[in-house]
C-alpha cells in the first residue's frame, strides 16, 4: 500500500521483454548478441561491422572477454526486447549480480563442445535466485566435435540442482550457431535465421509486471558518463512513470534524500541511446541530472520517497596495495599521482565497480584495494595506466577473515583443460600450492580435463606458469566455493631476482655478466635505477649486479676484438605476469609506457640489514 493509501494495481507490460544473456566465458554470448542485432536489421546492408559489437572497450577487444555489462534494445514485431549482455569471467561476476535485477528472463548460453563450465553454474544460480525465467541456448552446434545431447543432459542436471521454483524446470531449448547466425527450435530443423530465438523470447519470457500509475521507483543498476550531460544513471523503472524535467529524489545508502530534476531521459535501442519524453514501469532507461549518484541508489517520487533494497554483491577474495610512485623515474613517463589524486581516482572507480573495495592503510601514500581476482584488479590497473597515471602495486594476496575465532581464507575449484603431455609439471606445481586433485577426465585423443581444489593464495601467479608449462595449449577457469580455515604453506618455485646495484643505463657488457647468472629483463641502453629488478637469478638468493658496468678500455689488441658480442633477447613481462612474479618484498611500477619490477627497499646495504634482522627474529 502506498503512503497515500491507494492500493497497488500491477499489470503486465505486454510490449516489453527484458532478458539477460549469461554464460561461461567464451561460450558465445556476445557473438549471439551480434547475430541478433544483424537479424533485426540494425545495420545497413552495405555497412561494414566488426565482430563482437557489444565489446566496445579497448581492453575487452584486446583480451577477448566481456568486462562490463551493457544494454541494447531490439524491436521484434510489436515487442521491444531489452538485452543485457553480461561478462562470463568469474572475476567480473559482480557485473552479473548488479544487472540481473533489470531482467525478467535469461538466455543461458552453453557451448555444445564443452558443456556447462564453472561460471555456467554461478550465473545460472544468480539468475534463478532472482526469479528469472530461463531459455537454454546450446551454441556452436556447427562444430565438428559438438555433443549436443551430452551438453543438454549436463545442463538439465544443473537445473535440478539449482532451481528455486518448479516452473524454472520447464524451459525451452534452442540450438544455435551464433557465428553462422541461425537458431533452431528443434535440432533437426533446417538452418535459416535467428527467428526461432526471437519467437521463443516473446513467447516464453514473461513481460514485466508493475503498476505504471504508482509513485515512481527505480533502482540504479549502472552508471555511464557523457562529456556534455555528465553522469548518467541506468536502471529499470520498478513502478510508476518518469518524465523529462520531472522532479525526483535520490535516496542514497545513508538514507539521505536529495532532490533533483531529470534533465534528459533516454531508452536503449539499436546500440544507441535515444532521447524520449517519458517512460513507464518495466522499461530500462538512462537519465541525467543526478549528482553523486551511486549504483544501488533509488530514484523515487517526492510524494512517496520509498527506497528499494540495495543489491547484494559477494565479498572480494584478492587484495593488493596501490601506492604513490616514489621511484627516481617518477613523472618521466606519465602523470605523477599524489596520494590524494590516487585516492580520488579509486573512489571514482567505486561508483561503477560494485565488487571493488578500497581502504586506507597506516601509510598516507598507500591504499588497500580488494577485488574478485587477479584479472579483476589487473584490468583496473591497466585502465588507470592508460589514463596516464603512474603508481605502484604489490603482489596480490588472498583476503582473510576471522570466523568463530579462527582465521579463514577463500577456497576455489580450479578447472584445467590441456594436453596429457603437460599433466606432470602442472600437478607438481599445484601440489606445492596446496592443491588437491578432485577429478581427471580424458577424451582418448590426448586432451584432459583436470579439477583441483585449493586456497585462493595458491592460485596467485599460477596462470602465467600454466600458460608457459602448457605452451599455450590450455584453458583455465575457477569457481569460488567458500571460506575455510587457513592451513599449510604455499611454496611455489620462483627463481630469485637479479637486482641493479647502480643507477644509470644498462650496457651490453653489464648485461652479459647478468646473463651468465640467469635471464635478463632489459635490453641494452635501457635506463635502470638502483633496486630495480633486471633479471631472474639461477640461484636461490637475490643478487645485486651492476648492469651499467662498461668494459674497461686498454691499448692492447685482442685476437677476438672483432667478434660481435651477442645477447639473448630480454624476457618481456605482461602486467599479469609481473604481478605473479614479484615477491612480498617487491613492487610493480606501472606507468603509461613501462611495467617495471623493483625491491621495496632500493638500497642493497639497507636491504641486507633488514633481511638479516628479520632472519634473526624468526630463529
Residue 375 lies inside a defined structural domain of this protein: no
Among candidates 362, 283, 297, 382, which has minimal Cα distance to 58? Answer: 382
Are 438 and 413 contacting, i.e. CB atoms less than 8 angstroms apart? yes
Q: Could you tell me if 233 and 156 lie in one domain?
A: no
Residues 139 and 225 in one domain: no
CATH of the domain at 470: 3.30.70.240
Confidence of residue 57 (pLDDT cuts 50, 70, 90): low
Q: How many CA atoms lie within 13 A of 354 on its CB side?
A: 22
**CA 26, CA 111: separation in Å to the nearest integer?**
8
Do both 238 and 253 map to the same domain? yes
pLDDT band at 489 (very low <50, low <70, confident <90, very high): confident
Contact 222, 98 (CB under 8 A): yes
> 528 in a domain, yes or no?
no
| Distance of alpha carbon 30 from alpha carbon 35, whole angstroms | 9
User: Is residue 196 within a helix (H) or strand (E), and if so which, with residue range?
Assistant: helix 195-204
- For the chain, the domain total comes to 3
pLDDT for the residue numbered 477: 84
Q: Are residues 221 and 198 in the same domain?
A: no
Co-location of 65 and 185 in the same domain: yes
Per-residue confidence (pLDDT) for residue 68, from 0 to 100? 65
Residue 534 is assigned to a structural domain of this protein: no
Nearest-angstrom CA–CA distance, 333 and 391: 11
Q: Tell me the pLDDT band of 5, cut-offs 50, 70 and 90.
A: very low
Same domain, 153 and 282: no
- Select from 433, 455, 485 the last residue of a domain: 485
CA distance 188 to 183: 11
pLDDT digits (tens, 9 = 90+) for 362-415: 988 899 999 988 888 998 999 999 888 999 999 999 999 999 889 999 999 999
**Residue at 45 is within a domain:** yes
Domain span holding position 277: 211-300
With a cut of 90, say whether residue 587 has pLDDT above it: yes
With respect to residue 178, please indicate whether it lies within any of the assigned structural domains. Answer: yes
Do 194 and 46 lie in one domain? The reply is: yes
pLDDT digits (tens, 9 = 90+) for 160-209: 988 888 888 889 999 999 889 999 999 889 899 999 999 999 999 999 88
Cα(72)–Cα(43) distance, integer angstroms = 14
Residue with cell 535466485: 129
Position with higher pLDDT, 1 vs 18: 18
Q: Could you tell me if residue 99 is inside a domain?
A: yes
Does the residue 472 lie in any domain? yes
Separation of alpha carbons 311 and 298, rounded Å: 11
220 and 155, same domain (yes or no): no
Domain boundary residue among 181, 209, 237?
209
pLDDT band at residue 227 under the 50/70/90 scheme: confident
Q: Using alpha carbons only, what angle is made at residue 218 by residues 213 and 220, rounded to the nearest 5 degrees?
A: 170
Q: Given strand 533-537, what is the order of strands in its sheet?
A: 518-520, 533-537, 497-500, 543-545
Report the pLDDT averaged over residues 147-170: 88
Give one DSSP letter per residue of 133-163, joined into a string.
EEEEEEE-TTSTT--HHHHHHHHHHHHHHH-
Classify the C-alpha dihedral 364-369-375-376 as positive or negative.
negative
21 in any annotated domain:
yes
Q: What is the mean pLDDT of the chain?
A: 85
- CA trace torsion 247, 249, 250, 256 (10° rounding): 150
The alpha-helical segments, DSSP class H, found in 331-489 are 339-350, 374-386, 423-431, 456-459, 462-469
What is residue 598's predicted lDDT score, i.e. its pLDDT?
92
For residue 280 the three cell numbers come to 513507464
User: pLDDT tens digits, residue range 438-482?
Assistant: 999 888 888 898 999 999 999 888 888 888 888 878 888 888 888
Query: 106-138 burial by CB neighbour count: b if 16+ within 10 A, else e?
Result: bbbbbbbbbbbbbbbbbbbebbbebbbbbbbbb
Angle at 526 between CA 524 and CA 532, to 5 degrees: 115
Task: Note the pLDDT of residue 562.
Answer: 41
My answer on whether 185 and 252 are in the same domain is no
18 and 161, same domain (yes or no): yes
Does one domain contain both 19 and 121? yes
Residue appearing with cell numbers 615477491:
583
Quote the pLDDT of residue 498: 92
User: Which residues, other chains included, contact 126 with Cβ-Cβ below 8 Å and sequence gap of 6+?
Assistant: 22, 93, 96, 97, 100
Contact call for residues 206 and 167 (beta carbons, < 8 A): no
In a 13 Å sphere around the CA of 236, the CA atoms on its Cβ side amount to 23
- The whole model's pTM is what? 0.81
Of 107-121, 144-158, 547-561, 569-583, the least confident: 547-561
Q: Report the C-alpha gap between 503 and 527 in whole angstroms.
A: 8
- Is residue 236 helix, strand or coil? strand
428 and 286 fall within a common domain: no
**Among residues 432, 467, 485, which one ends one of the domains?**
485
Annotate 94-127 with three-state secondary structure.
HHHHHHHHHCCEEEEEEECCCCCCHHHHHHHHHH
- Per-residue pLDDT at 1: 44
Residue 123: what pLDDT? Answer: 86
Q: What gap in Å lies between CA 100 and CA 124, rounded to an integer?
A: 11
Amino acid at each position: 500500500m502506498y503512503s497515500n493509501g491507494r492500493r497497488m494495481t500491477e499489470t503486465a507490460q505486454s510490449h516489453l521483454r527484458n532478458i539477460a544473456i549469461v554464460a561461461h566465458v567464451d561460450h558465445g554470448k556476445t557473438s549471439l548478441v551480434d547475430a541478433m542485432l544483424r537479424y533485426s536489421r540494425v545495420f545497413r546492408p552495405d555497412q561494414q561491422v566488426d565482430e563482437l559489437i557489444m565489446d566496445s572497450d579497448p581492453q575487452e577487444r584486446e583480451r577477448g572477454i566481456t568486462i562490463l555489462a551493457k544494454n541494447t534494445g531490439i524491436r521484434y514485431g510489436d515487442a521491444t526486447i531489452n538485452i543485457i549482455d553480461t561478462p562470463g569471467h568469474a572475476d567480473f561476476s559482480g557485473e552479473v549480480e548488479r544487472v540481473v535485477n533489470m531482467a525478467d528472463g535469461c538466455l543461458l548460453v552453453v557451448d555444445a563442445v564443452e558443456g556447462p563450465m564453472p561460471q555456467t553454474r554461478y550465473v545460472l544460480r544468480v539468475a534463478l535466485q532472482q526469479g528469472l525465467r530461463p531459455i537454454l541456448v546450446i551454441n556452436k552446434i556447427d562444430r565438428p566435435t559438438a555433443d549436443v545431447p551430452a551438453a543438454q543432459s549436463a545442463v538439465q542436471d544443473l537445473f535440478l540442482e539449482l532451481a528455486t521454483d518448479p516452473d524454472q524446470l520447464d524451459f525451452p531449448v534452442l540450438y544455435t550457431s551464433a557465428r553462422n547466425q541461425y537458431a533452431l527450435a528443434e535440432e533437426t530443423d533446417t538452418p535459416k535465421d535467428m527467428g526461432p530465438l526471437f519467437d521463443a523470447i516473446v513467447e516464453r519470457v514473461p513481460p514485466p509486471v508493475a503498476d505504471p500509475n504508482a509513485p515512481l521507483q527505480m533502482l540504479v543498476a549502472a552508471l555511464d558518463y557523457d562529456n556534455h550531460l555528465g553522469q548518467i544513471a541506468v536502471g529499470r523503472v520498478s513502478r510508476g512513470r518518469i518524465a523529462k524535467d520531472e522532479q525526483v529524489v535520490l535516496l542514497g545508502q545513508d538514507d539521505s534524500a536529495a532532490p533533483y530534476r531529470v534533465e534528459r531521459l533516454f531508452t536503449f535501442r539499436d546500440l544507441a541511446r535515444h532521447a524520449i519524453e517519458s517512460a513507464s514501469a518495466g522499461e530500462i532507461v538512462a537519465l541525467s541530472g543526478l549528482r553523486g549518484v551511486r549504483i544501488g541508489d533509488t530514484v523515487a517520487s517526492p510524494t512517496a520517497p520509498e527506497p528499494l533494497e540495495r543489491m547484494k554483491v559477494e565479498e572480494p577474495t584478492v587484495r593488493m596495495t596501490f601506492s604513490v610512485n616514489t621511484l627516481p623515474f617518477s613523472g618521466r613517463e606519465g602523470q605523477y599521482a599524489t596520494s590524494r589524486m590516487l585516492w580520488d581516482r579509486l573512489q571514482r572507480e567505486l561508483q561503477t565497480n560494485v565488487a571493488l573495495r578500497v581502504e586506507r592503510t597506516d601509510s598516507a601514500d598507500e591504499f588497500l584495494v580488494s577485488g574478485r581476482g587477479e584479472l579483476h584488479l589487473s584490468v583496473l590497473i591497466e585502465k588507470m595506466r592508460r589514463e596516464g597515471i603512474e603508481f605502484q602495486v604489490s603482489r596480490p594476496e588472498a583476503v582473510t577473515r576471522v570466523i568463530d575465532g579462527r582465521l579463514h581464507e577463500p577456497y576455489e575449484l580450479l578447472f584445467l583443460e590441456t594436453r596429457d603431455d603437460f599433466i606432470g609439471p602442472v600437478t607438481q606445481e599445484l601440489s606445492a600450492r596446496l592443491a588437491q586433485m578432485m577429478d581427471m577426465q580424458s577424451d582418448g585423443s590426448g586432451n584432459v580435463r583436470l579439477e583441483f581444489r585449493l586456497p585462493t593464495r595458491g592460485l596467485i601467479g599460477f596462470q602465467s606458469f600454466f600458460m608457459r608449462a602448457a605452451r599455450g595449449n590450455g584453458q583455465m577457469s575457477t569457481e569460488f566455493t567458500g571460506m575455510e580455515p587457513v592451513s599449510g604453506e604455499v611454496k611455489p618455485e620462483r627463481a630469485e631476482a637479479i637486482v641493479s646495484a647502480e643507477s644509470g643505463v644498462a650496457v651490453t657488457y653489464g648485461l652479459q655478466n647478468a646473463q651468465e647468472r640467469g635471464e635478463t629483463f632489459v635490453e641494452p641502453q635501457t635506463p635502470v635505477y638502483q633496486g630495480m629488478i633486471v633479471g631472474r637469478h639461477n640461484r636461490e638468493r637475490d643478487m645485486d649486479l651492476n648492469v651499467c658496468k662498461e668494459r674497461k678500455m686498454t691499448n692492447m689488441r685482442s685476437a677476438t676484438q672483432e667478434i660481435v658480442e651477442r645477447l639473448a633477447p630480454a624476457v618481456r613481462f605482461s602486467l599479469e605476469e609481473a604481478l605473479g612474479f614479484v615477491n612480498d618484498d617487491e613492487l610493480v611500477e606501472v606507468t603509461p609506457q613501462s611495467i617495471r619490477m623493483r625491491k621495496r627497499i632500493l638500497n642493497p646495504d639497507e636491504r641486507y640489514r633488514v633481511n638479516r634482522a628479520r632472519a634473526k627474529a624468526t630463529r
